[in-house]
Amino acid sequence: MKKLTKKSIVFLAMMLLMLTGAFASLAFSNGTSITAEASVQPFGANGQTNYLELFQFTRIGTTNNATVRARDRNIVMANVPSEIVLNNVTLTVTEVTTSGFVGMPNLRHVGLPDTVVRIHPMAFQNNPNLRRVVMPKVENIGLNAFANNPNLRRIVIPESTLIIANNILLNNNTTIYTAQQVARVGWAANWNVRSGQVRHPVKFDETPSLAMDFHPDNYGGLYAVVGIQLWNQSELRPANPIVIPAYFPCDEGIARPVLAISPMAFASNYVMSIIFEYSNNPIRMYSFAFADLTADSVEFNRDVNFAYFDESFNGSQFADATVDSILLPDTIIEIPFNMFGESSVSNLQFGQYNPNHKDGLVVLPYGVEKIWAQAFSWAYNLHHLIIPESVVYAGWVPYENQNLYGASGRSIIDGWNLPQTVVVPFAENAVPTGWAPNWAYSAGYGVVVFKTDLQFNIYYANLFGVANSVYNPLTFTASTPTFNIHAPQSRRQGNYIFAYWEWYVLDCVCVVHICDEYCDEYDCEIYYDYECNCYGLRRERVDAIPQGTVGHIRMYARWISHTWIYKIVSNGTGAFDVFVANNRNDRHVIHTVIQNVSIQDAINAINLDAGGQDVVILFG
């Protein structure tokens, strides 16, 4: 249930429709209507939606209930709040007023809260692009409520519906789902009339199908995932994952590759999880595709390209989404505008899924080149963002006209404060070359950590209980002068002695392969695979850590077995001098002096002192 206090992109955006001699208006969550030529501000100053600018609410008499109608006629997506505050009084939204959303050419999706129990006559009439309606607890539906909506292909009549007037779906082509076995007494005789004597098909006593739409849409002529049946938090969401296939059998019986996710395809839905099956072909993800989605997880098993919304806007793919886990391919080359803005994602991974991944940690894959403005803004469940050196462009606004932000760009991390951190381990100043001056503007003090500020840890392994040298540091920064790594306090361990320190190096050879070429009437794209053949980890000797090194380091002690050669000779005074020689370098040192003992006692003492090492004894 959505309330006013929840930050939300209730009205995400509207299609940028080119009209003859004019541009269509755009309506966003701050209620501002702008033209396609202007820059876009998808959030208000504090990231909170102002419902009063987008809806008109009217109190019903002296009750604490209210009706709702659209104030902004250019919206694409309408999720009505369950409560609103008018004149310091909290009102429950219970009704959609007569003609409240009539004649809105861009309206595509409607989500009513479970507090709305009545839809008045003609409430959603004459909306040519309306595709989905969620009304989980509606009891009364008025005359012509959804008439003249040719793209409303399916609708669910909830069990709560007691009264339905005539012709609610007049002149549509809609399949009706209802859990009722037969029409109720309060449903009018012509409630499901299409035109004349023709009626819409009604699937009684049937759980609504997910009914994914796959068909060529207005997005490059690709077969696209246009959307699925809307589910509401109050309804029983699907118990199984929704699987998006790589191929879909179209009307003519031919399996067509699914190559696109249309704008708002999964927006404002409530499902368990969404899984995209593996395919060699990338899939285009359009703006707002998963905005305001509630789900446990979204998983991509194929490459993803981010596509522009009418060639002028690209972003908000997961904006305001309540998704715990998102798995994206590690081949992406950009993070679009506002992609995760205000989302609650906590487990964001790239490439292969790691069940031990630390929640809140985001390690962008090497190969990401652009991070657009507001990409991670107000994403409070993300705690640490690591930016790779491949990023050459950050904080800019992806519009033809950037007058709203000027030449300074916009922060990618609005609202971030400690203990949240953004690590830029390759940069020594606040603005790397190519990044917008305001790429981190508005983030709290200390959130951004640069190369010269970042403290890294050194871990010493394979010591086998031997104490490390007190001169070996445990931390360092990139600005720390070059320093040597010392041997452990004891160079001997059993029949081994310390040789040197090692660290791991990964041997890889990377090659670019051209995989496929796809052309349509708009453009051509070349798909390629960046293949890396890695020959495994190898250890490399290291004696010192040079200045400028970044990243945590794990050092491994290298031990080698030794045979110790003892030579016992009489010193002429009744005692024996015992010499020890390292068989590797024939270094001779006096090991011990044993006086006034027999030779056998001296041998026994040497064996005990050698601690089980290989011992060769020579008599001089």
Provide the CATH number for the domain around residue 162: 3.80.10.10
Residues 68 and 195 in one domain: yes
- Does residue 188 carry a pLDDT above 90? yes
Element (H, E) at 607: helix 599-610
Question: How far is it, in rounded angstroms, from Cα 409 to Cα 375?
Answer: 12
Residues 51 and 190 in one domain: yes
Residue-wise over 504-514: b if at least 16 C-beta within 10 A, else e?
A: eeeeeeeeeee
- Does residue 532 carry a pLDDT above 70? no
Give the domain extent around 461.
455-561
The pLDDT of residue 302 is 94
What's the mean pLDDT in 301-329? Answer: 84
- Main-chain phi, psi angles of 436, to 5 degrees: -65, 140
Q: Checking DSSP bridges between strand 89-96 and strand 393-394, what pairing results, if any?
A: unpaired
Handedness of CA 389, 392, 395, 397 (dihedral sign): negative
Worst-scoring range by mean pLDDT, 214-218, 299-303, 400-404? 400-404
Tokens of 445: 């003090």
What's the mean pLDDT in 124-130? Answer: 93
Type of residue found at 469: S
Residues 103 and 40 in one domain: yes
The pLDDT of residue 407 is 66
Ranked by mean pLDDT, the top range of 268-277, 373-382, 510-519, 542-551 is 373-382
231 vs 460, higher pLDDT: 460
Beta strands in 524-562 (DSSP E): 524-542, 544-545, 553-561
The pLDDT of residue 598 is 56
Tokens of 568: 């016992």
343 vs 481, higher pLDDT: 343
Residues 492 and 549 in one domain: yes
- 545 burial via Cβ count (<10 Å: 0-12, 13-18, 19+): buried
Residues 47 and 109 in one domain: yes
- Does residue 309 carry a pLDDT above 70? no
Residues 505 and 547 in one domain: yes
The pLDDT of residue 355 is 86
Question: How far is it, in rounded angstroms, from Cα 500 to Cα 486?
Answer: 9
What's the mean pLDDT in 410-415? Answer: 92
The verdict on residue 293 lying in a domain is no
Boundary residue ending a domain (143, 171, 203): 203
User: For residue range 553-576, what is the model confidence (pLDDT) as tens digits?
Assistant: 888 898 887 655 555 555 555 545
Type of residue found at 438: N
Residues 615 and 485 in one domain: no
The pLDDT of residue 340 is 96
The pLDDT of residue 594 is 45
The verdict on residue 63 lying in a domain is yes
The verdict on residue 314 lying in a domain is no
Tokens of 157: 């009549």
Question: How far is it, in rounded angstroms, from Cα 442 to Cα 392?
Answer: 21
8 A C-beta contact, residue 337 and residue 372: yes
User: For residue range 71-89, what is the model confidence (pLDDT) as tens digits?
Assistant: 988 887 787 888 899 889 9
Residues 513 and 590 in one domain: no
- Does residue 160 carry a pLDDT above 50? yes
Boundary residue ending a domain (561, 589, 610): 561
Residues 542 and 588 in one domain: no
SS3 53: helix
8 A C-beta contact, residue 160 and residue 186: no
The pLDDT of residue 484 is 92
pLDDT-derived band at 341, boundaries 50, 70, 90: very high
The verdict on residue 22 lying in a domain is yes
Question: How far is it, in rounded angstroms, from Cα 501 to Cα 514?
Answer: 42
Question: How far is it, in rounded angstroms, from Cα 211 to Cα 226?
Answer: 10
SS3 605: helix
User: For residue range 33-82, what is the model confidence (pLDDT) as tens digits?
Assistant: 222 222 222 233 333 457 788 899 999 999 999 999 999 888 877 878 88
- Does residue 533 carry a pLDDT above 90? no
Beta strands in 253-344 (DSSP E): 255-257, 260-261, 273-276, 283-285, 294-300, 304-306, 322-328, 334-335
Element (H, E) at 62: none
Q: Which region holds residue 107: left if phi is over 0, alpha if psi is between -120 and 50, else beta?
A: beta
pLDDT-derived band at 351, boundaries 50, 70, 90: very high
Beta strands in 287-346 (DSSP E): 294-300, 304-306, 322-328, 334-335
The pLDDT of residue 268 is 76
Is the link from the previous residue into 263 a cis peptide, with omega within 30 of 0?
Answer: no
Q: Checking DSSP bridges between strand 524-542 and strand 496-519, what pairing results, if any?
A: antiparallel
The pLDDT of residue 390 is 92
The pLDDT of residue 123 is 96
Number of H helices, E strands in the chain: 2, 50
The pLDDT of residue 596 is 46
Boundary residue ending a domain (137, 172, 203): 203
- Main-chain phi, psi angles of 609, to 5 degrees: -70, -30
| Total-model pTM | 0.54
**What does the mean pLDDT of the chain come to?**
74
The verdict on residue 272 lying in a domain is no
230 vs 453, higher pLDDT: 453
8 A C-beta contact, residue 99 and residue 125: yes
8 A C-beta contact, residue 374 and residue 42: yes
- Closest among 68, 122, 121 to 91, alpha carbons compared: 68
- Does residue 511 carry a pLDDT above 70? no
The pLDDT of residue 520 is 46
The verdict on residue 414 lying in a domain is no
- Does residue 165 carry a pLDDT above 70? yes
The pLDDT of residue 26 is 26
The verdict on residue 357 lying in a domain is no
Residue-wise over 279-314: b if at least 16 C-beta within 10 A, else e?
A: bebbbbbbbbbbbbbbbebbbbebbbbbbbbbebbb
DSSP state of 522: S
Worst-scoring range by mean pLDDT, 178-182, 225-229, 301-305, 541-545? 225-229
Sequential DSSP letters for 101-136: TTT-TT--EEE--TT--EE-TTTT-S-TT--EEE-T
Tokens of 313: 């806007």
Element (H, E) at 19: strand 18-19
Residues 496 and 485 in one domain: yes
Number of domains in the chain: 3
Question: How far is it, in rounded angstroms, from Cα 68 to Cα 85?
Answer: 13
Residues 612 and 469 in one domain: no
Residues 476 and 580 in one domain: no
- Closest among 567, 570, 618, 566 to 596, alpha carbons compared: 570
The verdict on residue 262 lying in a domain is no
